[in-house]
Amino acid sequence: MSELTPEVLISEEQIQSRVLALAEDISADYADGGELVMIGVLKGSFIFLADLSRRLSIPRTIEFIAVSSYGNGSVSSGAVRLVMDVRGNIEGKHVLIVEDIVDTGHTLKYLIGMLKSHRPASVRTAALVRKAESAEVDVTIDYLGFDIGDEWVVGYGLDFAEQNRTLPYIGVIKPTDG
Ligand code: PRP
């Protein structure tokens, strides 16, 4: 028996309905033209990016970026390091950064600044969940799925020690032996 049992916090149905609503908002906001490039932040965003991008009704391209901030621990150091940059040229394009979770906000703040240096037409942000109580820096999330408390969540891209990323729902890890 597994030591760690995720309990459902946000169901698959709730996620899918919210992702569709966000996709409709994004499609409307970018309908007037310009090139939209969605940039997924590895690894956690891969499922949210896949679902969100497939529900858009406007043209878009996909890029990925990778950063490192936590090292081997679970507490953010606040220091963000670029591990893999985008491959394509984003100059003059509308950039939408896609994150699974915003915790302290350091990662997203760093990415906004770094990507702006590539001279895109605009930079906006989407995140499936935000831990509002954990914010250490002020960062705008233009398209937010859900606010959650200060709990360790897994599923829909989110992991605990690389486990549980492919759960269709978001669950909370509760140690069984306290
Ligand atoms: C998570 C998440 C964000 C970052 C947010 O990534 O995907 O990139 O942490 O934290 P912050 O707001 O405190 O900066 P993680 O380091 O867990 O890597 P992963 O996506 O590969 O699991």
Which of 29, 51, 100, 103 is catalytic? The answer is 103
Q: What is the pLDDT of residue 77?
A: 62
**How far apart are the C-alpha atoms of 163 and 25, rounded to whole Å?**
32
Does 70 sit in the ligand 1 pocket, CB within 6 Å? Answer: yes
Residue 22 lies inside a defined structural domain of this protein: yes
Residue 50 lies inside a defined structural domain of this protein: yes
Residue 170 lies inside a defined structural domain of this protein: no
Residue 7 lies inside a defined structural domain of this protein: no
Residue 176 lies inside a defined structural domain of this protein: no
For residue 80, the ligand 1 atom closest to its alpha carbon is 14
- Its domain, for residue 71, covers 12-151
Residue 169 lies inside a defined structural domain of this protein: no
Total domains present in the chain: 1
Write out pLDDT tens, residues 112-142. 999 999 999 999 999 999 998 999 999 999 9
Q: What is the pLDDT of residue 114?
A: 95
Does 159 sit in the ligand 1 pocket, CB within 6 Å? Answer: yes
Residue 174 lies inside a defined structural domain of this protein: no
Is 103 annotated in the active site?
Answer: yes
Residue 107 lies inside a defined structural domain of this protein: yes
Does 44 sit in the ligand 1 pocket, CB within 6 Å? Answer: yes
